[in-house]
Amino acid sequence: MRASRHTALIAAAALGLMVSACQQSEAEREVKDQADAIEESYDAEADLQESLAQSAPDEAAVKAEADKLREQGDAERKHLDNMAEELRETQ
């Protein structure tokens, strides 16, 4: 469920990139906004997991999973930022 939601956000960002490719600055801004939203989504999910796991026996494992979510969100943001940069270079 979580992966499909993030995949849908990435697909929407890519579509936005293609649709607005003719307007370089607007396309780049849109992709960066989508990238930020995706990263914030991962961060919020990680924060939620951590808060639900406080004082639980598996708290350390949940925190490790939350860290992985934050890293994944950061990686996806960087990927979309690179896509925006490539768009700018091709125009």
pLDDT in tens, 23-68: 557 878 888 889 999 999 999 999 999 998 888 888 899 999 999 9
pLDDT at residue 28, as a whole number = 80
Label residue 74 by pLDDT band (50, 70, 90).
Answer: very high
Alpha carbon distance 89, 87 (integer Å): 5
CB 73 within 8 A of CB 41: yes
Q: At what angle do helices 2-19 and 24-53 cross, to 10 degrees?
A: 170
pLDDT in tens, 59-69: 899 999 999 99
Lowest-confidence segment of 9-13, 54-58, 86-90 by average pLDDT: 9-13
